[in-house]
């Protein structure tokens, strides 16, 4: 490990000891680092995750949905969204993403398909968009977000594969800049972090950031 990462990387890998802060209730260096991360990624508030985007997606669904609440999502969601459904008891409404047979690629979710689903199911509370998809296809979050908000719902973007988008103007717009309420990113996938390091970002007034829930039932 020293050969691979160098001495300083291992010196920085500390357990939770007094003075280093507590990941579950940060008030010191971790809190400061989260504030800097929020600033860097364009969020209002950021949480560091040690169990991948998986834990952020589950937390986001638990924070926004209860048993029976309707949540709109594409069919090609990651399994963490499905475990969020199991934990929260929310009811999924599925959208089929556009499929391109020429490239054998599943594309993103379009604004008209979201609008149609919101009209068909007015009780939808949360909309999940995966952007970029596993294959790197981005959805137009800046067009989808106002539709969702006008409906009184919340937009959660699984941006596990897009934590780099914010940092270059030639890349598609990142989900926070597009107006999403909650964005979850796998820092360990595209940026540099040890496996399982991820971030959950929140902005705007729609998410109750202090909601405390027990998994359902």
Ligand X SMILES: Cc1ncc(COP(=O)(O)O)c(C=O)c1O
Instruction: Point out which residues bind ligand X (CB under 6 A).
Output: 52-54, 78, 80, 130, 134, 158, 160-161, 186, 198
* Closer to ligand X by Cβ: residue 151 or 176: 176
The helix/strand/coil state of 12 is helix
Please give the Cα distance from 50 to 103 (Å, whole number): 35
- How far apart CA 74 and CA 108 sit, in angstroms, is 8
Which single residue brings its beta carbon nearest to ligand X?
52
Q: Which is nearer to ligand X, 77 or 207 (CB)?
A: 77
Nearer to ligand X by C-beta: 141 or 151? 141
Extended strands (E) in the chain: 45-49, 70-74, 91-95, 99-100, 105-106, 124-130, 154-158, 182-185, 198-202
Q: How far is the CB of 120 from ligand X (least distance, A)?
A: 25
Question: How near is the Cβ of 166 to ligand X at its closest, in Å?
Answer: 17
- Tell me how far apart the alpha carbons of residues 181 and 44 are, in angstroms, rounded to a whole number: 10
**Minimum CB–partner distance for residue 52 and ligand X (Å):** 2
Smaller CB distance to ligand X: residue 52 or 151? 52
| Shorter beta-carbon distance to ligand X: residue 148 or 200 | 200
* Cβ atoms of 134 and 162 closer than 8 Å: no
Work out how close the CB of 113 gets to ligand X at its nearest, in angstroms, rounded to a whole number: 18
Least Å from the CB of residue 135 to ligand X = 10
Query: Phi, psi at residue 48, to the nearest 5°?
Result: -85, 140
């Amino acid at each position: 490990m020293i050969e691979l990462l160098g001495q300083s990387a291992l010196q920085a890998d500390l357990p939770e000891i007094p003075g280093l802060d507590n990941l579950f209730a940060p008030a010191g260096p971790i809190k400061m680092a989260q504030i800097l991360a929020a600033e860097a990624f364009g969020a209002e508030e950021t949480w560091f995750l040690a169990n991948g985007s998986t834990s952020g997606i589950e937390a986001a669904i638990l924070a926004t949905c209860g048993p029976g609440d309707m949540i709109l999502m594409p069919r090609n969601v990651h399994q963490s969204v499905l475990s969020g459904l199991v934990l929260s008891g929310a009811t999924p409404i599925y959208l089929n993403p556009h499929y391109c047979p020429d490239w054998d690629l599943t594309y993103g979710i379009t604004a008209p398909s979201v609008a149609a689903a919101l009209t068909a199911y007015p009780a939808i509370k949360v909309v999940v968009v995966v952007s970029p998809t596993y294959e790197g296809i981005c959805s137009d979050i800046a067009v989808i977000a106002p539709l969702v908000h006008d409906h009184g719902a919340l937009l959660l973007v699984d941006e596990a594969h897009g934590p780099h988008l914010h940092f270059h103007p030639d890349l598609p717009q990142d989900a926070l800049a597009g107006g999403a309420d909650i964005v979850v990113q796998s820092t360990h996938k595209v940026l540099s972090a040890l496996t399982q390091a991820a971030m959950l970002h929140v902005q705007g007034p729609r998410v109750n950031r202090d909601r405390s829930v027990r998994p359902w039932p």
